[in-house]
Structure 1
Amino acid sequence: MLRRDFLRLTALTPLAALSVRSHAFPVSTGRVVGQIPDGRPHRLELKAHSFMLDGKPMQIRSGEMHPARIPAEYWLHRIRMAKAMGLNTISIYLMWNHLEREPGVFDLHTGNRDFVQFIRLCQREGMWVYLRPGPYICGEWDYGGLPPYLLRKPDIRVRNKDDPDYMAAVQRYIDAIAPLIHSLMAYNGGPVLMLQVENEYASFGHDLDYLKQLQALWEAHGIRGPFTISDGLGQLQQQHTYPPGTALGLDGDTDFATAQTIAGEAPVWVGEGYPGWLTHWGDPDFQRGDYVATLRELLQQGRSFNLYVVHGGSNFGFSAGANAKGDYSHFEPVITSYDYGAPINERGEATPDYHAFRALLAEHATQPLSDVPAPPAAIRFAAITPVAHASLWDNLPAPRAAKKPQANELLFAQDHGLVLYRRKIPAAAAALTLDGVRDYATVFSDGHYVDYVSRVQHAKLRAGNRVELPVIVDGKTSQLDVLVDSFGHVGYGQAMADRKGIVGSIRLGNEEVEDWNVYSLPLDEGYIRQLKPVVSEPSRPGIFFKATLRLDQLGDSYIDMSGWAKGYLWVNGQLLGRYWNLGPQQRLYCPASWFRLGDNELMIFDLHQTVAAPMHGATTLHA
């Protein structure tokens, strides 16, 4: 079962329907008055089914947002939005692969990676922090937050205490960030109340000792909790992966009575309550939710909760993840926007849900709520039409010889982007069979476009089988090119070896084709920087287009890509993310800080377009 399936079943269930069972155990309705992270030591304890802060009952009213999905310039604004809604806690994921892209090479400071600064801003605004540092987080993020470099080892077993390579990497990660987190714990004068151990592990495995080892790694650095887990109740009942003494967070469930029989005396709370939902490429529309009734009941009963998410942000760059079944079929990549139907939308505006939630939270507040911050400025701009700048086919690096197709991670240590398979083929007319395309391929014969194969759209490929295409031949030897684009790595469930490129075979008729020249095209900064411009108008798909946008004022904008097919968009060298006319998303969010006054460079790489389409700036995600 996919994550969206098993959690969606209960994500929007009104708590009122379960209110009788939910009172089978006593729940404190007391509220901490005036307790904020003030730089002095505070202690959160797990006592008699309740959270106790400095000996007084506390209702954690948390909303989740992720520093990695928000430009650092907007961190303070988003925190203040959550506070003004009436929350007292900010929940955050730390994405391991955002902090360590290559083994042992950490970046904890540039851009939106300085999570210590984010947490200090929460403290400055009087907000507690619930920290979810992984190592695995899911979150619809590429590979669930795990670094894709792990996939360069053919036999890696992630989320497994018995794999020495995986556990060594986890140890390195925790060794790097734990000393920073230690000083941020509430008992050391910081705002961090509690840490989560891994995430939704019962939906993956059943080794309780793995979770205990992770907890021990934190404790070895002096981080003594309290700790919590977050998972589906049915999965916990089946896998028996509740670490004794931790708080039990329910994902999309409100059956507190049953959960309490697992947690004993420890508190049971809503680890993830869903006011909205994730959207995949190919969904008919953006997902929405209705959480008002559930939130009303949680507040009336004094239940602690974490809204997932109060603000989603954006999957900039290559960070969007994907879902799939355990056999890698039914692949569902996540769109670039992580708006999520959240009460604070992608660019920081209050939605109708925000005001409804705020009214409920105000009824249960001990003091007036702060004013709602104004949203950041937004701009429109008139349509501009890019021109051809460079051709992928004129910018191929030196190839590597490969007898058979092999995953990008194993062949090139390449985590994202494109790869090209090239070979001369005989004149015989035969169907081309592609097996194991991950995730989208365009096929050319002698430079002429033949067709495409999509892991999302083609039913046979979705089911894990081969897809056949005709090959154009004209009675002579032809050059076959198979250009493969990738989405994010699957980050949930059992399909945790979702390597990219071509992971099966290529056949002509009944014969497997071997001896390929393979080209690594990662679309990273180094590759983009060295592009050689075109000298004449290219006619073959695989073109980089460029436009100059002149601005005399700055603000957020949504760049409309509805006239384009499938590809990537950069603004002043920053990769906004993927676009695809499959929808439902047609506009990509660009924060004001990525623009500049005067001339701005917009670059587009499109897999199908040979003629540029106009593009304009709007102020909303939706048309």
Structure 2
Amino acid sequence: MANLPTLYEFYTNGGITQGLSVDQPYFTLNNKNISIYSGAMHYFRVPQEYWRDRLRKMRAAGLNAVETYVPWNLHEPQPGVYDFGNGGTDMQDFLDIEKFLKTAQEEDLLAIVRPGPFICAEFEFGGMPSYLLREKGIKFRTSDEKFMSHVKRYFNVLLPLLAAFQFTKGGPVIAFQVENEYGSTEEPKANPPFLPDLVYMEQLRQLFLDNNITELLLSSDSPYDHGSVGTLPSLFQTANFNTNPEQQFNKLKTLQEDKPSMSMEFWSGWFSHWSEKKYVGNVIDFKNVYERILKYPASVNLYMFHGGTSFGFLNGANIDDNELYQPDITSYDYDAPLSESGNYTEKYYVVKELVEKYNPIKTKLPELPKVKPPLALPGIKIETYLKYSDIIEQLPYKLPSKDLVSMENLPINNNTGQSFGYVVYRKSNIDIKTNSLVKILGYVRDSVNVYVDNKLVTKNVVDLDGFGYWKVKNGTLNLGSETYNSNATLDLVVGNLGRNNFGSLDQFYQFKGLREGVLLNEQKIEDWEILPMEFKREWIAKLSGWSPVTDQVPVGAGLYKANLILEETGDSFLDMSGWNKGVVMVNNFVLGRYWKVGPQQSLYVPAPLLKVGSNEVVVFEEFSPGSELKFSETPVLGNNFVNSLK
């Protein structure tokens, strides 16, 4: 193997004259035959300190390309405000896409980039920024002028940045995808029927051309299910599926004759929703379908090759055929060839074996990088805490409003609203009598806890069919037999568990928080104070007034802090199975959500988020805390509390 050329030596020897071509029934790159063996990895789900390791592991498996989406909501968090690695947002360290593409090329990988504007990806709002919801009458993912004005502004910044990395300009990018699974938006049985807006697709395509994108432009869908309804004749069509590749590829051949066959998404695993069992696939089935793809013969991108983590509040959600909301867990392990912590799985070795067997073009591959196993760090005790009322006092905004206002429509963040976290709806000086009934009209988006005079009334942690969760319409809660003051304070703390990232276009109008009204003993409550609880890094760092924990941890919602002292850093899994529901922050960075409902009972803690010496771990627990934080070498799963969403 030492005498073999690198991938770039093989395809660029003698100079670059042509990019990826589909003008014949097989791919050529720079006029040389190529089959694409690609793997998906989202740079924004992996600490950048690990990018090179994960990319080298891809190349060591024999892959010749990496594929990634580009999340609009992270790169343009406010209109005209951008973060590509130095914009100062909480996710800044994950967003240097230029560095990611350079690293891919240094690791001898080509790249496929899918900029959206919609990416799905089981990511919050399909990667779209939530401030779009403030535009009255906006029509997402269509040629609607309101939507396209935002897309044009963003793409005219993003695409020139990506254009510099095109293969024909000496970079790694061989193809760009226009939109994502747009055919799946068709609803022929709807009233009125909806067909994908091909004017929109052409406008997007033109934006690529106008920004000097000259590499192959493509689309992806299930050709068997959607045909060409969501694409253009000028775009190369690829297929997304997890079974029956021959059916999909045969259909593709009828849609575009004398072209290569490619799967842009062969689903290597699947994602998991809260309250479901963790998805675990069958390696034998995976090998069978992957080999049939290669045998066909077709090119393929494994979605995912390395899933990573939906850090912070960035997980997405689904809305099923029965209009039931299904939020995703924090982990995006995906049962992929590389695990969430970057370890090799059985599927990795299957991929390596089959690519070596079917790829006729031999190039130099690196040795398999060694895996540094996660650490079982010592447990740590909770040392200090802030009770609920202490947190409320330190929230940066207290917004008076006659009526309820959704998160997205709050006048904060330069008037772009609130994207993530919780929002508190407070009514002060209210007379609450014994056994008073609070009714929340419509649906909660997505969970709610009720406080009276800073004391938690709700106790429901896991019953999704009960009061406090999104499944209940016009939910009613008895505030109990306790006697309250005639000037009591009522708080409704509402959590956004993630916006929908897939489906028909009418399912993208997702306003989080409360909107339709709250009744106390059938009387409408007005004149609220609204307090966003965003858990931004800067706010977390400034929290003060921590009280020491004495003999036992206090009962009730609050922030609970522990100190992790390390002589060396390493990956680990934070075992939250002894806690109830909330979010964890490590050194002021929101790691993600935990919830006793399962299946995820631990949170992956990558070493780059830690440091030698003292590390602050802060937990926002919504119900009642555990007394300590435990760590594990492996993910902790639990289905004891699984409550079917079906």
Same fold by TM (over 0.5)?
yes
**For residues 20 and 463 of structure 2, what CA distance do their matches in structure 1 show?**
46
**For residues 490 and 454 of structure 1, what CA distance do their matches in structure 2 show?**
22
**For residues 322 and 455 of structure 1, what CA distance do their matches in structure 2 show?**
18
User: Equivalent of 1:132, from 114, 124, 130?
Assistant: 114
Instruction: Please give the root-mean-square deviation of Cα atoms over the aligned residues, in Å.
Output: 2.4
**For residues 51 and 288 of structure 2, what CA distance do their matches in structure 1 show?**
29
**For residues 63 and 383 of structure 2, what CA distance do their matches in structure 1 show?**
48
Map of 1:580-599 to 2, 5 A cutoff? Answer: 580-599=595-614
The residue matched to 2:22 in structure 1 has which SS?
Answer: strand
**What's the offset of the Cα at 1:524?**
1.1
1:225 corresponds to 2:215: yes
| Residue equivalent to 1:488 | 498
1:47 corresponds to 2:55: no
**What's the offset of the Cα at 1:523?**
1.3
| Residue equivalent to 1:278 | 271
1:316 corresponds to 2:311: yes
Q: Does structure 1 retain, via aligned residues, the 8 Å contact 2:595–2:601?
A: yes
Map of 1:106-505 to 2, 5 A cutoff? Answer: 106-110=82-86, 111-162=93-144, 164-205=145-186, 206-237=196-227, 240-252=229-241, 254=245, 255-289=248-282, 290-325=285-320, 329-365=323-359, 366-367=361-362, 369-396=365-392, 397=395, 399-412=398-411, 413-423=417-427, 424-427=430-433, 429-434=435-440, 435-451=442-458, 457-458=464-465, 462=470, 465-474=473-482, 477=486, 478-494=488-504, 495-505=507-517
Q: Does structure 2 retain, via aligned residues, the 8 Å contact 1:275–1:307?
A: yes
The residue matched to 2:273 in structure 1 has which SS?
Answer: coil
**What's the offset of the Cα at 1:474?**
4.1
Deviations 1:468-501 (A, max 9, x none): 2212254553432211111121111131121211
Q: Does structure 2 retain, via aligned residues, the 8 Å contact 1:247–1:268?
A: no
* Structure 1 runs not aligned, ≥5 long: 1-31
The residue matched to 2:457 in structure 1 has which SS?
Answer: strand
Deviations 1:384-434 (A, max 9, x none): 111332233223245322222221111241111111112224426443222
The residue matched to 1:50 in structure 2 has which SS?
Answer: coil
Q: Does structure 2 retain, via aligned residues, the 8 Å contact 1:70–1:314?
A: yes
Cα gap change, 1:71 to 1:241, in 2 (>3 Å): same
**What's the offset of the Cα at 1:158?**
1.7
Q: Does structure 1 retain, via aligned residues, the 8 Å contact 2:76–2:82?
A: yes
Deviations 1:491-521 (A, max 9, x none): 1113112121113221234333222222121
Deviations 1:95-152 (A, max 9, x none): 1112111111111124121111111111122211111111110001111111112123
Cα gap change, 1:234 to 1:431, in 2 (>3 Å): farther
**For residues 40 and 98 of structure 2, what CA distance do their matches in structure 1 show?**
16
**What's the offset of the Cα at 1:576?**
0.9
**For residues 388 and 115 of structure 1, what CA distance do their matches in structure 2 show?**
38
Q: Does structure 2 retain, via aligned residues, the 8 Å contact 1:90–1:128?
A: yes
- Per the normalisation by structure 1, the TM-score is 0.89
Cα gap change, 1:535 to 1:349, in 2 (>3 Å): closer
What percentage of aligned pairs have identical amino acids? 31
**For residues 405 and 234 of structure 1, what CA distance do their matches in structure 2 show?**
45
**What's the offset of the Cα at 1:535?**
4.5
Cα gap change, 1:244 to 1:564, in 2 (>3 Å): same
**For residues 89 and 339 of structure 1, what CA distance do their matches in structure 2 show?**
20
Q: Which moved more, 1:406-415 or 1:509-518?
A: 509-518
**For residues 461 and 500 of structure 2, what CA distance do their matches in structure 1 show?**
16
* Structure 2 runs not aligned, ≥5 long: 1-6, 87-92, 187-195, 412-416, 638-646
**For residues 259 and 204 of structure 2, what CA distance do their matches in structure 1 show?**
19
**For residues 561 and 618 of structure 1, what CA distance do their matches in structure 2 show?**
10
User: Equivalent of 2:36, from 60, 69, 77?
Assistant: 60
The residue matched to 1:338 in structure 2 has which SS?
Answer: coil
**What's the offset of the Cα at 1:40?**
4.1
Cα gap change, 1:395 to 1:451, in 2 (>3 Å): closer
Q: Which moved more, 1:570-579 or 1:45-54?
A: 45-54
**For residues 570 and 209 of structure 1, what CA distance do their matches in structure 2 show?**
44
User: Equivalent of 1:532, from 540, 544, 547?
Assistant: 544
**Residue type of the alignment partner of 1:139:** A
Q: Which moved more, 1:420-429 or 1:287-296?
A: 420-429
**For residues 173 and 379 of structure 2, what CA distance do their matches in structure 1 show?**
46
Deviations 1:19-58 (A, max 9, x none): xxxxxxxxxxxxx996346784541111233322223332
The residue matched to 2:559 in structure 1 has which SS?
Answer: strand
Cα gap change, 1:336 to 1:171, in 2 (>3 Å): same
User: Equivalent of 1:603, from 618, 626, 631?
Assistant: 618
**What's the offset of the Cα at 1:273?**
0.3
Q: Which moved more, 1:64-73 or 1:570-579?
A: 570-579
Q: Which moved more, 1:261-270 or 1:555-564?
A: 261-270
**For residues 439 and 575 of structure 1, what CA distance do their matches in structure 2 show?**
19
Map of 1:484-563 to 2, 5 A cutoff? Answer: 484-494=494-504, 495-535=507-547, 539=554, 541-563=556-578
Deviations 1:219-264 (A, max 9, x none): 0011123111111235523x72221032211111622122222234
**Residue type of the alignment partner of 1:243:** L
**What's the offset of the Cα at 1:364?**
2.1
**For residues 543 and 180 of structure 2, what CA distance do their matches in structure 1 show?**
41
**For residues 463 and 319 of structure 1, what CA distance do their matches in structure 2 show?**
21
**What's the offset of the Cα at 1:326?**
7.2
- Per the normalisation by structure 2, the TM-score is 0.86
| Residue equivalent to 1:27 | none
**For residues 519 and 459 of structure 2, what CA distance do their matches in structure 1 show?**
16
The residue matched to 2:372 in structure 1 has which SS?
Answer: coil
**For residues 351 and 183 of structure 2, what CA distance do their matches in structure 1 show?**
31
**For residues 17 and 310 of structure 2, what CA distance do their matches in structure 1 show?**
36
Cα gap change, 1:470 to 1:124, in 2 (>3 Å): same
**For residues 482 and 342 of structure 2, what CA distance do their matches in structure 1 show?**
56
